[in-house]
Structure 1
Amino acid sequence: MLNHTALLNLLQLASSTLPVGSYSYSEGLEALVDSEIINNQDQFYLWLENELTYGAIRIETAVMLRSYDCLSKSDLTGLNSWNGWLSAARETKELRQQSWQMGQSLLELLISLQPSLQFLKDVIEDECNYAIAFGIAASYWQINVEATTIGYLYSWLNNTINSGVKLIPLGQTTGQKLLFKLRPLIVKITEEIFALSDEELASCSWGLALASMEHETQYSRLFRS
């Protein structure tokens, strides 16, 4: 169970209004819509389902959990190692820059909220990935690890659905129906991610890398990725 403070911390951390710029990214979805690979509610649902089940978000979430664990154990070497690992695992330059920009923004926000975390600026050797910063925040605020995982996946799903609502386009009610329909899958995927060993960190992103590369040179676009 979450106490009131932990619940409020998680709600703030997973909020779409968190000033990290998540609203400006579609993670390749804009290119998929532009090429008409995704142009209706059913196709969008299938893409979301596949990404949650097999895609890169699983790996991000698994690394987020490892950063949570590293901070709780004061394992700063491990924290840096996983941050570097995730940077190397990003499929394209565009997606890596997204992760770095959001991560650095979240890290700076955390330090402004919790000045005692100032030491992280000197500890983290490279650009901080978003999943790493999220795990640091949840660990520092002692949010239940299972709730943290659900919150991270929910935040990703909510942001991606908001992008789809604008791009396809879909109505806001349709977006909420998709979010509601996928909630059981978030719980299922959370359990699977907990069971992943380091050797099992792999994903199949259903054309995410190709979509991201196409998006980089797309003639007209609304989003940064």
Structure 2
Amino acid sequence: MSTEAVLTLAQWLSPGFPIGAYAYSHGLEQAIDSGAIRDVTALGVWLEDIVAQGSGRCDVILLGEAHRARDEDIAAIDATARAFCASSERLTETVDQGAAFSRTVDAVWNTDLGALTYPVAVGRAARLHDLPLDLTARMYLHAFTANLISAAVRLVPLGQTEGQRLLASLAPLIAQTAKDAIGETCDALTSTCFAADIAAMRHETQYSKVFRT
């Protein structure tokens, strides 16, 4: 594993990469507004499920499939990613972030990703640049989790230190989930995080919002 690969992934998956991740809460805003999440303990339980049993794990599966795929199979994987979104806002989230990621990577690294959903775009870009799948998956899932914690820090509110302590505590679960999910195929896509899916649906009609999703 080269230093260049690590630095490339760190750049792609950093909060400063222009995909607008700060504008999306993945339904977390509605869960906080409804009172389902009031403190760091409840947030931790919510995120554990999202990472290991929900969209976090599913994104890693899609990323892995895109990393292994032949050129002619990418469109089908991307179509599956879109179809698997449980709500309109979940679709908006992955489509908009994926498009922004692809535009920037295409412009800076001279690729031709096109309009792909976010995990598919990251997996495809990593393959084109010979970046290791295991590291890509782990860093992707870590960035996904960090962005949700950042949203909660602003909404609950939580202290910055409390948020970072939670992220550190979730690191082993992130690593294990990424390791387990990268070898799965799209046939393994599933989610038992119904509360999170419903929160994302209810956010569509929430009266007052800070986040787009």
Band of TM-score, shorter chain: over 0.9
Aligned to 2:137: 149
> How far 1:102 moved relative to its partner?
0.5
Pair 1:112 & 2:111 matched: no
Structure 1: any 5+ residue segments left out of the alignment?
A: 122-126
> How far 1:108 moved relative to its partner?
0.6
Matches within 5 A, 1:1-225: 2-70=1-69, 75-115=70-110, 117-118=111-112, 120-121=113-114, 127-225=115-213
Counterparts of 1:28 and 1:3, CA distance in 2: 36
Counterparts of 2:91 and 2:150, CA distance in 1: 21
Counterparts of 2:14 and 2:128, CA distance in 1: 18
Structure 2: any 5+ residue segments left out of the alignment?
A: none
Counterparts of 1:104 and 1:93, CA distance in 2: 16
Cα offsets for 1:153-190 (capped at 9, x unmatched): 00101101000111110000000000110101111112
Instruction: Look up the equivalent residue of 2:107 and give its one-letter code.
Output: S
CA contact (8 A) 2:65 2:186 kept: no
CA contact (8 A) 1:99 1:130 kept: yes
Instruction: Look up the equivalent residue of 1:142 and give its one-letter code.
Output: D
Instruction: Look up the equivalent residue of 1:7 and give its one-letter code.
Output: V
CA contact (8 A) 1:23 1:163 kept: yes
Cα offsets for 1:60-79 (capped at 9, x unmatched): 11011111112xxxx22210
Counterparts of 1:107 and 1:55, CA distance in 2: 24
Cα offsets for 1:114-140 (capped at 9, x unmatched): 22x23x43xxxxx42011111122112
CA contact (8 A) 2:65 2:185 kept: no
CA contact (8 A) 1:94 1:212 kept: yes
CA contact (8 A) 1:33 1:168 kept: yes
Aligned length: 213
Counterparts of 1:200 and 1:214, CA distance in 2: 27
CA contact (8 A) 1:83 1:132 kept: yes
